[in-house]
Amino acid sequence: MWVGSFAHLLFDVQLAQNIAGLTAAAIALFALFTTSGTPRKTLIVLGGCALLVSSVSGTLAPLWNGVVRASLFASFLASLFALSALVRMSSRIESIQDTFDSQPQPGRSGVLQFLGLVFAVPLAVGAVGVVSPLISSQRTGRDRVTDASWAMRGMGLAVLFSPFTVAMGVATSASDKDLPIGWLMSCGLIMALTLFLIPFFRGQCVLPGQLRGKFSRDLIVMLGPVLLLICLNMAIVFWVDVTPLQAAVLTVLPFSLFAAGLSGTGALRLVKDHVQGAWRHFDGEIAVFVASLCFAQAVANVPAIELVVASLAGIMGPTALIILSLLMILLLAMVGVHMVVTATLFVTVFSPSMTSDVQSVFLALAALLGWSLGTMIAPGSLAFVTACRVLQVPSKKVALDINLIFSVCSLLLFALAAIMIT
């Protein structure tokens, strides 16, 4: 599957993309018999709904588009395990983990949230591959869930302003207004920094600079290859017509194997074993990707749904529509509907009702905040599922942990700001 996606992106071979899509579909069907719990339920419910919607609409093309997109997402996640292995092969990893394990929870929370935010700007959910090695196997149970929650909060906040995300692309392209992108990103950055700093003022987090100097130096040395990879990805994104996700599929796995090869056969074997071990238990995630994206594509092609939402827009005012968009994106993501479906739908249908640039920007921000919070707590978010898988934490426990209260408070603060400003 990864080979097919890689070949399609590099050589523009349609057959390779078809092979990747068919492989993803076959693995998803196989997962009906090999998985249980959330992946299997998601596949049955959303996959069944997607089939029903496509049958009613009279075309199966959206389902194939969803399968192809799922193969790309799955290839991206597969690459993240190589990125994690690249970080783990550093000679400083044990020293860093020992130092990090000895830190009180506020220090750990601050570092994890900070690194999640910084690396998610260029890598999006790929940042989880950088952060996951910091959480050693000594951290189990509630402690591990708490660490993962802080890391995922940082990654989620990057969605509010990073140009390298699907969310920003949806928020800007779905609107019928000529959105001031710089203004939107600036407002998103202010919102992200505000939500990021609140835990520091409350004493829940400690600034990374307060940790011991040796830890900081070791961390910089360990993440050196990752920084180089980020620069390579950003160069590809700016100079070639690809998304950050596509750039990661092209670069992460080959770069990790190349860097491991330079370090010797032992490091190369470590990366190979880590990636192969993760890929052997990958069918559940692929099933979720296939079901979610097929459902998203199927629903997006039903005109009747847009007509229903449009009728609602005529009854409520712009401010209420903005708040409703945020609330519905998050609530539907909590029950398994991917944010790409709801964000596209609400921004597309509600944007004609916005009467000023301020309202249009707030509508886009509502979509970004709903997407951001969804990546922290919602099973309908592929990023959330991906992060839980790589960080090796139960998704249900993370969804009900500290970020649930954080999401409710963030929603209320945004609603208050929207009422006062728009």
For the stretch 325-377, pLDDT in tens is 999 999 998 887 878 778 877 887 788 888 888 999 999 999 999 999 999 99
- pLDDT of residue 281 exceeding 70: yes
**pLDDT the model gives residue 139:** 63
H-assigned helices in 35-133? 38-57, 61-88, 93-101, 105-123, 128-131
Q: How many domains does the chain have?
A: 1
H-assigned helices in 132-282? 141-158, 166-173, 181-201, 213-222, 224-239, 244-263, 265-279
- pLDDT of residue 212 exceeding 70: no
For the stretch 83-121, pLDDT in tens is 777 777 777 777 777 777 777 888 889 888 988 898 887
**pLDDT the model gives residue 141:** 77
What is the DSSP-derived secondary structure letter of residue 103?
S
C-beta of residue 164 within 8 angstroms of C-beta of residue 237:
yes
For the ranges 45-54, 171-180, 262-271, 407-416, which has the lowest average pLDDT? 171-180
- pLDDT of residue 407 exceeding 80: yes
- pLDDT of residue 391 exceeding 80: yes
CA distance 250 to 308: 41
**pLDDT the model gives residue 211:** 59
Could you list the residue range(s) of the whole structural domain that residue 145 is in? 2-421
**pLDDT the model gives residue 167:** 83
Environment class of 183 (CB within 10 Å of its CB; exposed 0-12, middle 13-18, buried 19+): middle
Higher local confidence (pLDDT), 205 or 99: 205
- pLDDT of residue 228 exceeding 80: yes
For the ranges 82-91, 288-297, 372-381, which has the lowest average pLDDT? 82-91
Tokens of 177: 């207004």
Mean pLDDT of 261-270: 83
Mean pLDDT of 274-289: 80
**pLDDT the model gives residue 213:** 64
Q: What is the pTM of this model?
A: 0.75
- pLDDT of residue 208 exceeding 60: no
**pLDDT the model gives residue 210:** 52
